Amino acid sequence: MLELRGVSKRFADFGLTDVSFSVEQGDYYILLGESGAGKSMVLETIAGLVAPDTGTILLAGNDITNEKIQNRKIGLVFQDHAVFPHLTVAENIAYSLHGAKLSKVEKHEKVKAVANELGIGELLARKPGTLSGGELQRVALGRTLIQQPAILLLDEPLSSLDTRLKGELRRLLRSIHRRGQTILHVTHDYEEALSLGTRIAVIHRGTIIQSGTPSEVFLHPKSEFVAHFIGVKNFFSVKLATKDQAVFADTCNNIRIRVVTDTTAGEGYILIRGEDILLSAAAVETSATNNFSGTVVEIVPNAGGIEVTIDAGIELHALITRESLEKLDLTAGKTCWVHFKASAVRYINK
Amino acid sequence: MKKISRQSAVGSRQSAVTRHVSRKTCKLTQRFTSIQATFLLLGSLVLLFIVAPLAGMFLNTTPAQVFETAREAEVRNSIWLTIYTSLAGTLVFSVTAIPLAYLLARKRFPLKKLVTGIIDLPVVIPHSAAGIALLGFVSRESALGKLGSAIGLDFVGHPAGIAIAMAFVSIPYLINAARDGFSGVPVRLEKAALTLGASPYRVFFTISLPLAWRNILSGLILMFARGMSEFGAVIVVAYHPMITPVMIYERFGAFGLKYARPVSVLFILISLTLFVLLRWLGKEKDGEEGLSDKVTK
């Protein structure tokens, strides 16, 4: 549907190098990378605001590399929304309808429909200066969606919002995607990537270094950078279940892990930090609700201490000190116990 | 022990300093410090310097004299001529000045510093010299003059020539104000408009121009005002028909100070009324946009 082939762009101190990826119809594609990695540049290149030095951009099979910005069927929502301050909400949303062969009434109907869908139907007569950050982001979305873009490009759409609004907007984006809208979303937040994305590409210093499904990228980071950037070794795709009012996350191989979350059902991911996993040589009574026995697979020293990999039905990575390692006398093949608290398990809803 | 006592000594000294400072800040909000009092005195002198001559002139002119002068057709025609030539010059040249200001705000190009310097030239050169230069430029022998003659227009001694002279000396004010206005419009708003399917022309007229309008309007008013008050360049290009600044000079030369005053007072009154009115209209218009502008910038 959207394909970038070897797109490069050089600036004095920055650039894109051989960026290639393809977004399929109906994907919620996440471009994940640190700030300054070139994410926004990729979006601006696709939208036509920046012309690439080399490479091709294809949209639905057509080469749009040199197409005029206004003729591409691409919607771009800017990081800071870029709502026009001198126009009302309705005028902002209707901006792209100029030139469309519609009567005034039809235009108004269209604007109203989009605004209602985004929950800003009451704000149509207001000026942007009187709106909150979340409302402005919705106006920017509505303004773009009304053009029915072939693909919707989102540049860090949640970064300027507080936690509550983030949740609301995530739900909104998910519902827009479910309606069939193909989305390319740029972010530096892996939680956002996991929560929304159906495919993820990791970009670093202007190059795509890995792409795939969230599980592929998070479970099998191809490079040290990806592993480090993602920063989680204990990452599992799970299904939630409740039993005796306690919430459990079941992994694909039926390991049941107690979690603390507001959600009680659904599918998602869990993350456990290596630092939060305790090891013991024998079964001991602790306050932790997750206790498993397993065998030590590997012991690798790294910058934060010693990383011990234990096979307990699922592969868990614990980060311990050299002293602890010596005290427990752990070696590969030995049996040991793994403990972690339910509150140490981070659940991210898909 | 020694260490502790030294520390406490430092502590008490510090608190003394903070106390001293806080007392001072208190004083600042209550009355003027000596430096502020000195500056207030100097500032008042400069205000007096501006107000006193004008006030003197107004006090030396009776309302009856002003009224009498206003009844002279010659004076009325002259004031009207001054207003409309300056207005025409401002409007005609804004068509070229505003696009140039946009380019200056948005584009980097070789010799941009030189171009900016050229724009400020009319402000720094003597206006009589500007008039001489313009006279050569618009006289019947020049290319422009010949072009004008072909359509029966002689710039020298014609309102068109006056408008050109006025625009020449006042156009930097418009260009600079408009450039500042366009610089204040975030580029990403223009980019957003482009991605929403607008042509670059539509982006300019619906986004850039309205958002820079406050500055542009201010520049237009300034250019108009500066044009109306121009004397040096105009008198060289067109002594007749007589714009009011030239008429004031002529009355002074022919009849003396006393006769030049009423025209001056009348002209100042009309100019002031006009600019207060224009400013007020401008404020009225963007009053509703004031809030949103603040948020985006």
DSSP letter for each residue of B70-93: HT-HHHHHHHHHHHHHHHHHHHHH
Give the pLDDT of residue B29: 57
- Report the residue of B106, B185, B201, B292 to disrupt the A interface, i.e. the one with the largest count of A CBs within 10 Å: B292
Q: Crossing angle for the helix pair B143-150 and B127-138, nearest 10 degrees?
A: 60
Fold category of A2-230 in CATH: Rossmann fold (3.40.50)
Q: CB of A293 within 8 A of CB of A336?
A: yes
Yes or no, beta carbons of B192 and A85 under 8 Å apart: no
Q: Please give the residue that has the higher pLDDT: either B102 or B4.
A: B102
Pick B195's closest partner by Cβ from A76, A129, A130: A76
Kindly list the domain boundaries of chain A, sorted by start residue.
2-230, 235-349
Pick B188's closest partner by Cβ from A82, A129, A130: A82
Q: Is 50 exceeded by the pLDDT of residue B134?
A: yes
Note the ipTM here: 0.76
B187-245 confidence digits (pLDDT tens): 999 999 999 999 999 999 999 999 999 999 999 999 999 999 999 999 999 998 999 99
Of A17, A95, A32, A21, nearest to A58 (Cα)?
A: A21
B44-103 confidence digits (pLDDT tens): 999 999 999 999 999 999 999 999 999 999 999 999 999 999 999 999 999 999 999 999
Give the pLDDT of residue A230: 67
Of A331, A341, A335, A342, nearest to A282 (Cα)?
A: A335
Return d(Cα A198, Cα A28) in angstroms, integer: 5
Q: How far is B271 from chain A (nearest CA, A)?
A: 31
**Domains A2-230 and A235-349 equal at CATH topology level:** no
Q: CB of A184 within 8 A of CB of A152?
A: yes
Yes or no, beta carbons of A130 and B195 under 8 Å apart: no
Which token pair is A124? 């149509």
**pLDDT tens series, chain A, 350 aa:** 899 999 999 987 888 999 999 999 999 999 998 888 888 899 999 999 989 999 999 999 899 999 988 888 899 999 888 999 999 999 999 999 988 888 999 999 999 999 999 999 999 999 999 999 889 999 999 999 999 999 999 999 988 888 888 888 889 999 999 999 999 999 988 888 888 999 999 998 889 989 999 888 877 777 767 766 766 678 888 889 888 888 888 888 888 899 988 888 888 888 888 888 899 988 888 888 899 999 998 888 876 788 899 998 888 888 888 888 888 888 888 999 999 999 888 888 87
Kindly list the domain boundaries of chain B, sorted by start residue.
2-54, 64-296
Dmax over CA atoms of chain A, in Å, equals: 80
pLDDT-derived band of residue B295, with 50, 70 and 90 as boundaries? Answer: very low
Give the pLDDT of residue A14: 84
Q: Crossing angle for the helix pair A133-145 and A163-178, nearest 10 degrees?
A: 20
Instruction: Give residue A1's identity as a one-letter amino acid code.
Output: M
Give the pLDDT of residue B8: 42
- Report the residue of A79, A95, A111 to disrupt the B interface, i.e. the one with the largest count of B CBs within 10 Å: A95
A14-45 confidence digits (pLDDT tens): 889 999 999 999 999 999 988 888 888 999 99
Dmax over CA atoms of chain B, in Å, equals: 102
Give the pLDDT of residue B45: 96
Task: State in words which class domain A235-349 has.
Answer: mainly beta
Give the pLDDT of residue B293: 41
Return d(Cα B100, Cα B106) in angstroms, integer: 10
Pick the CATH number of B64-296 from 3.30.200.20, 1.20.120.430, 1.10.3720.10, 3.10.20.90: 1.10.3720.10
Cα B148 to its chain centre, rounded Å, is: 30
Yes or no, beta carbons of A47 and B195 under 8 Å apart: yes
| Interchain contact B205–A (C-beta under 8 A) | no
pLDDT-derived band of residue B296, with 50, 70 and 90 as boundaries? Answer: very low
Please report the DSSP string for B132-168 in residue order.
Answer: HHHHHHHSTTSHHHHHHHHTT---TTSHHHHHHHHHH
Give the pLDDT of residue B120: 93
Return d(Cα A220, Cα A214) in angstroms, integer: 10
